[in-house]
Structure 1
Amino acid sequence: MKSIDKILTRSELVQQVNDWKAQGLCVVFTNGCFDLLHLGHIDYLEKAKQLGDKLLVAVNTDASVSRLKGPERPLQDEMSRARIMASLLFVDTVVLFDEETPYELIKAVMPDILVKGDDYALENIVGHDIVLQNGGEVKTIPLVKGYSTSGIVDKIRR
């Protein structure tokens, strides 16, 4: 399978997740900008994959990243970021989302496990309410200290 084949539209993703669930597989959901892939991302995504059978990664579109991080971001376009995510062995599928948060996407796919980094309190993780109401779990993963895209950008600027 080519990495580009792992990038799905929202409707394709919903069908894929339904197929996985019908097979009794545990679906893990996470999201982010993933603007410059670094060790922190790799460690986080590997650990997220270990929580279930299939790892779904929602990636912010360029417009969404700019709204969140400012006009100088993203550094890489959305298809580059999505392809890089999809090329990782432990990532099973990737979808782009343009909204401010992935709430509607989480609602549409209803993952078994919703995951974010431990810089989030559980009650601040977008979608925690609907996942918990539907019998799913919300978990945080310890982040590798000293790794962030913003930190890398600052280092390059210096």
Structure 2
Amino acid sequence: MKLMKKKANESVIGYAYVCADLLHAGHLDHLEFCKKFCDKLIVGVLTDNAVMEKKPRPIFGFEERLRLVQALKCVDIAVPQETYSPLNNAPVMADILFESADHGEGALEEAKRVMRDIGKKVIVDIFRPRHNRRPSSTAIKTKIKKEWQK
């Protein structure tokens, strides 16, 4: 299932990104999916400020989340991602940007346009929490809050 190499001696580099607050099997499934398409997988871990562009402050701090992601076997390198959008890192680091279908059509089209304009690819992973019935980190947090309030 690997993509063809650019040249015989060049590796295909992929870029995925996660918040990884309350790291769960859905995160692992997504990153293992991404790794199937590349030789080296770089994973951007959203900084606290990047997360807060769209969501509340993460429960776990950036350094702890970065450490957890780096420990996954399918991840070759974990790096800070300073904005919610991966477009500050992916175009300069990778041949392929992995996106989630959950990110919405506008964000996906922008990512595809940017990567296509520089001769690179976007692969959209449709097997995200709502599709494989695994709860998202947000759903887990909501459930914990409800139980705590009882």
TM-score range, shorter chain: 0.7 to 0.9
Q: Any gaps of 5 or more consecutive residues in structure 1?
A: 1-20
> 1:118, 1:140 within 8 Å by CA — same for their partners in 2?
yes
TM-score (norm 2): 0.80
Output the aligned Cα RMSD.
2.1
- Secondary structure of 1:69's counterpart equals coil
Using the TM superposition, give the Cα deviation of residue 104 of structure 1 relative to its aligned residue in structure 2, in angstroms: 1.9
CA contact (8 A) 1:49 1:55 kept: yes
Alignment of 1:35-114 (within 5 A): 35-70=21-56, 73-109=57-93, 111-114=94-97
| Cα distance, 1:96 vs structure 2 | 0.6
Q: Match for residue 116 of structure 1?
A: 99
Higher relative contact order, structure no. (Cα contacts within 8 Å, ≥ 6 residues apart)? 1
How many residues end up aligned between the 2 structures? 135
Q: Where has structure 1 moved over 3 Å in runs of 4 or more? A: 120-123
What is the distance in 1 between the residues matched to 2:84 and 2:144?
A: 28
1:81-108 residue CA offsets vs partner (Å, 9 max, x unmatched): 0000000000000111222422121232
What's the % identity of the aligned pairs?
A: 30
Matched to 2:33, the amino acid is K
Residue 35 of structure 1: how far off its partner (Å): 0.8
Residue 4 (structure 1) aligns with: none
Give, in angstroms, the shift of residue 22 of structure 1. Answer: 10
Identify if the C-alpha distance between structure 1 residues 94 and 22 changes in structure 2 by more than 3 Å, giving closer, same or farther: farther
